[in-house]
Amino acid sequence: MGGGPEVPLREGAQKNDVLLAVLPWPEQLSAKIISEIKDEFPKLEIHYIQENFPKKDRAKTEVPEDLTKRAKFLATIAWLPATASKSPNLELIQFFSAGTNHIAEHPIYTDSEIPLTTASGVHGPQIAEWVIMLNLVHSHNYIQLYEQQKKKEWVQSKGAQVRDGVGRRVGVLGYGSIGRQVARLAQALGSDVIAYTASPRKTPESRRDNGFIVPGTGDPEGSIPSAWYSGLDKKSLHEFLRQEIDLLVLSVPLTKDTQHFLSTDEFELLHKSNPNGTYVANISRGGIIDQPALIKALESKQISGAALDVADPEPLPSDDPLWDAPNVLITPHISGMSTVYAERAFGVLRENLRRRRDGKNFVNQVDRKRGY
């Protein structure tokens, strides 16, 4: 475990399979699960290189050429060999991110067939809590109450207009691991959940979650939604948005089909469907929403507010008008962060090592044509 100079092999000896991890966290954060992987796969040679952080310093990360050539498995967020030929033995690249759109133009993505898998599934608990937390901050008028606290004022009227979650409708646009955990928490609050997926899910089998699931979370059988909608066309999307949604959660990947999925027409439709105001939470990518249209929707009260963990662009410039839009809460793309993130992501890698050993399909494998 760990890096260091290569020791010459005795003549006739065989090298072990190499797992190369190039990640931005200290190795110590994942020491326990790395040790468990080593125990389960004793012939696996693990080398961990801490990637330079922040992003602007990634290019300065030094990865020995010999390790790059020998690596059979690569664990990474963004670092990749320049081309597939630089890593001729690679059989799997396990990304520790939910998506791969950030490397979609890289030669390994466009010009190779090396299997790519993601860490989809590890983000559900913390992101779902972020969604519910900010929705409650909004629905319980907490910002006003906090400002009142700072002024040392005791005025109960500012906390009187509260609408709890019972009987409210939560629309989950993108019913993957994150959306399913949002649904689980929303159901616990007494809310009705409806789901939207790219492709139809008309059978119980099609509604099951076959990805990585943090134990005790999510909706493995797809049994929570009271109704399912699907499609990538505007007509199908609009049918979903007509369902009097109180909380709309965006958890779809950013592709050419979902770019500006929500724009002027969609915000107008949400307002007509629910005059009380839909609250929009975006934890996917900023480009899912037409940002100028969102600002207008907030200013005209077509929606009741927005919780945004993503923006377009990122970082959001200090002079961007989104900062000053009414009833908006913005966090700097941190909803997926967790003290156990790295451990869970290594858990996905361990599952894929097991599946390779057992001749099974990888979990969370990317379909390059679909983009996720």
Question: Residue 299's domain is classified under what CATH number?
Answer: 3.40.50.720
Whether the CB-CB separation of 85 and 310 falls below 8 Å is answered with: no
User: Same domain, yes or no, for 63 and 109?
Assistant: yes
Q: Do the domain assignments include residue 283?
A: yes
**Residue 10: predicted pLDDT:** 43
Asked whether residue 273 carries a pLDDT value surpassing 90, the answer given is yes
Q: Distance (Å, rounded) from C-alpha 82 to C-alpha 84?
A: 7
371, pLDDT greater than 90: no
Q: Is residue 26 a part of any domain in this protein?
A: yes
**Considering the domain boundaries, does residue 279 fall inside one?**
yes
Coil, strand or helix at 85: helix
When pLDDT is averaged across residues 7-22 and rounded to a whole number, the result is 68
| 32 shares a domain with 98 | yes
pLDDT (0 to 100) of residue 9: 41
Average pLDDT, the chain: 93
58 an active-site residue? Answer: no
Distance, CA of 134 to chain centre: 17
46 lies in the same domain as 73: yes
Asked if the structure places residue 97 within a domain, the reply is yes
> How far is residue 238's CA from residue 256's CA, in Å, rounded to a whole number?
18
- What value does the mean pLDDT take over residues 325-346? 96
| d(C-alpha 252, C-alpha 198), whole Å | 9
Active site residue 271: no
pLDDT for position 201: 97
Residue 202 and residue 246 in one domain: yes
In a domain, residue 223? The reply is yes
Average pLDDT over residues 308-336: 97
pLDDT at 7 over 80: no
Residue 370 domain flag: no
Report pLDDT for 184. Answer: 98
105 as an active site residue: the answer is no
Looking at 138, 184, 207, 285, which residue is catalytic?
285
Q: Does residue 6 register a pLDDT over 60?
A: no
In sequence order, the 6+-apart residues with CB closer than 8 A to the CB of 306 are 279, 280, 281, 282, 294, 298, 325, 327, 328, 329
pTM score of the predicted model = 0.86
* 8 Å CB contact between 241 and 273: yes
Within this chain, do residues 28 and 160 fall inside the same structural domain, yes or no? no
Q: 126-155 pLDDT, tens per residue?
A: 999 999 999 999 999 999 999 999 999 999
pLDDT tens digits, one per residue of 71-121: 999 999 999 999 999 999 999 999 999 889 889 999 999 999 999 999 999
Enumerate residues 6+ apart whose C-beta is below 8 A from 339: none
Residues near 194 by Cβ (< 8 Å), separated by ≥ 6? Answer: 169, 170, 171, 172, 225, 226, 227, 228, 229, 240, 243, 245
pLDDT of residue 35: 97
Going by pLDDT thresholds of 50, 70 and 90, the confidence category of residue 55 is low
Digit-coded pLDDT (tens) for 214-271 = 999 999 999 999 999 999 999 999 999 999 999 999 999 888 999 999 999 999 999 9
138 and 242 housed in the same domain? yes
pLDDT, greater one: 60 or 193? 193
**Same-domain status, 299 and 344:** no
% of the chain beyond a pLDDT of 70: 94
Query: Could you tell me the CA-to-CA distances from 118 to 76, 101, 203, 339 in Å, in that order?
Result: 10, 11, 26, 19
Query: Tell me, what's the pLDDT at 101?
Result: 85
Residues 6+ apart with CB under 8 A from 141: 158, 159, 161, 162
Look at residue 52 and tell me whether its pLDDT is greater than 50: yes
318 and 178 share a domain? yes
Q: Which residue in the list 91, 205, 314, 370 is annotated as catalytic?
A: 314
Question: Is 364 part of a structural domain of the chain?
Answer: no
Pair 66, 100 in one domain: yes
Q: Are residues 214 and 351 in the same domain?
A: no
For 353, the domain range is 17-122+338-358
Q: How many domains does the chain divide into? A: 2
Note the pLDDT of residue 99: 85
Per-residue confidence (pLDDT) for residue 12, from 0 to 100: 40
Distance (Å, whole) CA 369 – CA 265: 28
Is 6 inside any structural domain? no
Q: How far apart are CA 343 and CA 148, in angstroms?
A: 40
Are both 147 and 52 inside the same structural domain?
no
Contact between residue 362 and residue 73 where contact means Cβ atoms under 8 Å apart: no
Residue 8 has pLDDT above 90, yes or no: no
The pLDDT value recorded for residue 159 is 86
Across residues 148-173, what is the average pLDDT? 94
Considering 333, 350, 355, 356, which one is annotated as catalytic?
333
